[in-house]
């Protein structure tokens, strides 16, 4: 059984809203690097059962790919408390994926939200 969730425009918002930590793999069946990254992503999902690992098929869900400005695949995105805290194109090796998950786990989301509010405040003030 797969430990990843297929994300669609129908369940995406609910998944991201109801889970405080969601990893999203934007991929497509024709993409060689995506297919190489899939088992690495699956293994990380099995190793982190407390997190939600989602996959967005950019061919089947072009609206989601467009909404997030996905230019190349695979792209990994991490959303914590409905804030995208990480987004990077390219197939990550297993050690790098483990490291990124560890860093995202350690983030102080109050600090992240404060930083975003400050950035938005300064952007509006100009």
Active-site residue set: 31, 34
Q: C-alpha angle 36/38/40, rounded to 5°?
A: 85
SS3 per-residue string spanning 17-29: HHCCEEEEEEECC
CA dist list (Å): 82 to 29, 31, 69, 115, 119: 27, 28, 17, 15, 17
Beta strands per DSSP E along the chain = 4-6, 21-27, 52-57, 75-80, 83-89
Q: Which residue, 94, 95, 55, is CA-closest to 75? A: 55
């Amino acid at each position: 059984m797969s430990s990843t969730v297929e994300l669609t425009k129908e369940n995406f918002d609910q998944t991201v809203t109801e889970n405080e930590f969601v990893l999203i793999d934007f991929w497509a069946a024709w993409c060689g690097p995506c297919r190489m990254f899939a088992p690495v992503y699956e293994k990380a999902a099995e190793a982190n059962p407390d997190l939600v690992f989602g996959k967005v098929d950019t061919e089947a869900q072009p609206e989601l790919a467009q909404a997030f400005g996905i230019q190349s695949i695979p792209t990994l995105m991490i959303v914590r408390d409905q804030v995208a805290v990480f987004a990077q194109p390219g197939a990550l090796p297993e050690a790098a994926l483990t490291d990124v998950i560890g860093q995202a786990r350690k983030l102080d989301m109050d600090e992240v939200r404060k930083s975003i509010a400050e950035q938005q405040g300064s952007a509006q003030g100009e």
